[in-house]
Structure 1
Amino acid sequence: MKKVLAMLISMVFLLSACGKEEQTYTATAGKPVPEVKTVKMAVVGDIMVHDYQYNEAYDPATDTYNFMHNFQDAKKYFEGNDLVIGNLELTFGGTDRPYSSFPCFNTPDSFLDAVKDAGFNLLTTANNHSMDTGKAGVIRTLDKLDEYGIEHFGTYRSQKERDTIFYKEVNGITFAFLSYTYSTNGIPVPDDYLVNLLDADLMTADIREARQNADVVVVMPHMGNEYEEYPRDVFVEWADLMFEAGADIVLASHPHVLQKMEYRKVDHGNGEHDGFIIYSLGNFISSQTTPPRNASIILHLTVEQVAEEAPNVTEVSFVPIWTQFRNAADENYFVVRSVTERLSLSQAEKDAQIRPKDQKRLEEIHHETASFLLGREIPFSEMQEEYIFPKN
């Protein structure tokens, strides 16, 4: 009888349990474990193709351009990231006009093969070279990006496109992406919707609208003075305006050299949380080979959202990089390299791949990049492939 009673009680408990939604509890507190959503981003600066790069990529036997080697060393630092973002500072204007670089960039479509292969899936197109091949070039560039499956924001084909903020849900977190440029180098913009210009009223209205629908608002302004390593007050004020309007992350470009970065405490009515800014990402690839324009970083950001709390930028790290433009045989050869990886080679390997003066330059870049961004001397004994940026 006792056995039968015990079986009946067990069945009651089992049936009761089947009618309830399963919950996860911590081992210690007996409370439900809050859901944690995580998004990882890799971000780089200016993606440019100058004449030296065209000439090196050109194969006269086939009359084609092959850029595939440009990012083969760097692409591993993009793997495992949900978003791989850069500033596309050129246009794909097509073959109706000659290929060209500064002052007006018209790049072979095949460069997109290398960009896509590297892992880029999101590009800002608002910069001072957006109008280099006119309205037709703006539209054709967007069409080519669509063809390659690379998403974009900052330039548009219509007023409706411009007024539709770019949202992207990643791992349950909704991001909004906006970008603006200070100028189009004096080239007229025949229709206002083609390029987002850095206008306080326009930008503030866009950010506030994005804030209503997004968990994280990312703004990528094209601003700053070229080749200056510290942002002037006016650009700090522009960044402050972006944060006040509702931005969580600001990723700026245009100076072609690195500028400082910092965490920012922000509160947009959903609780104080950690935001982030870098005032200039520098060059990712270009033919600007003189120091410090040939040194930059691959920036890694981790965004986490716990339950319904405001998302935080929980970790920032960076990989110092260098654009090699000539190989050990002193031939043009454009490849984005990890500084630490090259410095860690044996001397024989260095000599086989890198000119002696570039070996010296790599040591300088390590100091310029790591010590500058971390705010302290980083001796070679502490050299790392990737550095964690500390929260102060």
Structure 2
Amino acid sequence: MKNIKEYFLLILFLIFSFSCSKFEKKDSKNGNNEKIKDKKEISIIGVGDIMLGSNYPNEDLLPNTNILKNVESILQNADITAGNLEGTLFDKGGDPKKCENPSVCYVFRMPSKYGKYLKNAGFDYLSLANNHSNDFGEVGILQTMENLNSLGIKYSGIKEKAEYSILEKDGIKYGFVSFAPNSKTVDINDYEYASNLIKSVKEKSDIVVVFFHGGAEGREHEHITRNNEIFHGENRGNVFKFARNAVDSGADIVFGQGPHITRAIELYKNKFISYSAGNFATFGNISLSGINGIAPIFKINIDKNGNFINGKIISIKQESGISKVMLDTRNSATKKIINLSKADFPEGNNLEILETGEINKK
């Protein structure tokens, strides 16, 4: 009788232990989900133009190394890392565009193996909305998208083919949308279409990141005019109107590119806007003299509703003929952004930017 009682108690103990274990696992799983769901801070890195070297018209224009190597650890240190892929990513073929004035027109084809440099650096998303995504016609666009797919890097910005993308990471859905004034891209100048597209992506995601490629190019065009900017006869858009329209439509953060130099930043409706992040990682036929050779890495911290908490500008520099992106101990890009933000937003940009790179809300 005693043995039967002991056996019965042992069975009850095993059942109880199994139930507790199952409950703890379930509770732990739910706890992890809640932790992800209630994530208090999300970090997003945004950088400017990326053109790691072109094998067209010949391989003499390629660097002898991975120019991202020095900044890999910085780029990897965020929940999301994104930038603008200024050109195509494939090895040979396609229809190179013809230029009426070669002195102001360049054609870029990065070797497909360079895609691994981007992946290893931590890029989650690359914008294809720019004036070089169509450098090799339909073949170049499709091959670039295929290579990015194989790397697991999201992209958008191509009209009808890739107008947006969604990435789910750590339980958060990020929507990406990119715009430019160029052939084959989603049009920066069609405000109504842009607004509707951003709204539709917002419905599918928790955080919406918008990239644009707009504004006139070069050191004479550092300032935001708040008007349409015409460059070489092309309407490069009213980037001020576009960026604010993007936020009004649901964008949580806006990263601008296009002028090849750094521009001002602002906080609008508690959402961060950068109007140009300049030449981030470029090699070959791109001018890097003076202010063209300095650029920011923006690391922006937002809450789960996309509202700005704080940020950091990490200043980098490049020099012609030197095949690497270098940290700039003088913080030149940061100082430039401070001055431009004061000049272009005399009413205030709602941000305090320190020369050391910290960005805080006023």
- How would you bin the TM-score normalised by the shorter chain? 0.7 to 0.9
Match of 1:241 in 2: 245
Q: Shift in Å at residue 242 of structure 1?
A: 1.4
Counterpart contact for 1:67–1:114, Cα < 8 Å: no
Shift of 1:215: 2.2
Counterpart AA for 2:88: T
CA change 1:66–1:109 in 2 (3 A) is farther
Paired residues of 1:99 and 1:108 also in contact (CA < 8 A): no
Secondary structure (helix, strand or coil) at the match of 1:293 reads helix
Q: Which residue of 1 aligns with 2:38?
A: 35
Q: 1:314 aligns with which of 309, 333, 338?
A: 309
User: Residue 113 of structure 2 is aligned with which of 110, 113, 131?
Assistant: 110
- TM-aligned CA deviation for residue 243 of structure 1: 1.8
- State how 1:226-237 maps to structure 2 within 5 Å: 226-227=217-218, 228-234=221-227, 235-237=239-241
Contact 1:295 1:369 in 2 (8 A): no
Aligned to 1:288: 287
How far off is 1:366 after superposition?
Answer: 6.5
* 1:262 is aligned to 2:266: yes
Q: Secondary structure at the match of 2:259?
A: coil
Q: CA deviation at 1:124?
A: 0.5
Query: Is residue 99–residue 106 contact of structure 1 (8 Å, CA) maintained in 2?
Result: no
**Structure 1 stretches lacking a partner, 5+ long:** 1-17, 24-33, 60-64, 185-193, 266-273, 326-331, 341-361, 376-381
Contact 1:299 1:317 in 2 (8 A): yes
State the Cα distance separating 1:67 from its structure 2 match.
Answer: 5.3
Confirm whether residue 390 of structure 1 aligns to residue 360 of structure 2: yes
CA displacement at 1:383 relative to structure 2: 6.4
Equivalent in the alignment of 1:217: 208
Q: CA deviation at 1:41?
A: 1.4
Q: In structure 2, how many angstroms separate the alpha carbons of the residues matched to 1:324 and 1:250?
A: 27
Equivalent pairs counted in the alignment come to: 303
Contact 1:302 1:316 in 2 (8 A): yes
Structure 1 position 337 matched with structure 2 position 326: yes
Per the alignment, residue 131 of structure 1 pairs with 134
Matches within 5 A, 1:1-392: 35-49=38-52, 68-96=65-93, 102-155=105-158, 159=160, 161-162=161-162, 165-184=164-183, 194-198=184-188, 199-227=190-218, 228-234=221-227, 235-265=239-269, 274-286=270-282, 287-305=286-304, 310-325=305-320, 332-340=321-329, 367-369=335-337, 372=340, 384=356, 387-392=357-362
Q: 1:139 to 1:291 in 2, by over 3 A?
A: same
Give unmatched runs, 5+ long, in structure 2. Answer: 1-19, 29-36, 228-238, 344-353
CA contact (8 A) 1:39 1:171 kept: no
Specify the SS of the correspondent of 1:233: coil
CA distance in 1, matches of 2:117, 2:56: 13
SS in 2 for 1:218: strand
What residue number does 1:269 align with? none
Structure 1 length normalisation: TM-score? 0.67
User: Is the Cα–Cα contact under 8 Å of residues 47 and 89 in structure 1 kept in the other structure?
Assistant: yes
- Residues 148-192 of structure 1 show CA distances to partners (whole Å, capped at 9, x for unaligned) of 222211126xx4x546x42223333322110011124xxxxxxxx
Query: How far is 1:49 from its partner?
Result: 4.5
**Matches of 2:292 and 2:126 in 1, distance apart?**
21
Compared CA separation, residues 55 and 291, structure 1 to 2 (3 A): farther
State whether residues 87 and 133 of structure 2, in contact with CA within 8 Å, keep that contact through their aligned partners in structure 1. Answer: yes
The SS at the match of 1:177 is strand
1:388 maps to a residue whose letter is E
Aligned-CA RMSD value: 3.5
Preserved contact between residue 56 and residue 333 of structure 1 (Cα < 8 Å): no
Q: 1:372 to 1:257 in 2, by over 3 A?
A: same
SS of 2:77's partner is: coil
Counterparts of 2:306 and 2:257 in 1: how far apart (Å)?
24
Distance of 2:58 and 2:335 partners within structure 1 = 30
Task: Name the TM-score, length of structure 2 as normaliser.
Answer: 0.73
SS state of the match for residue 87, structure 2?
A: coil
Cα distance, 1:296–1:373 mapped onto 2, change above 3 Å: farther
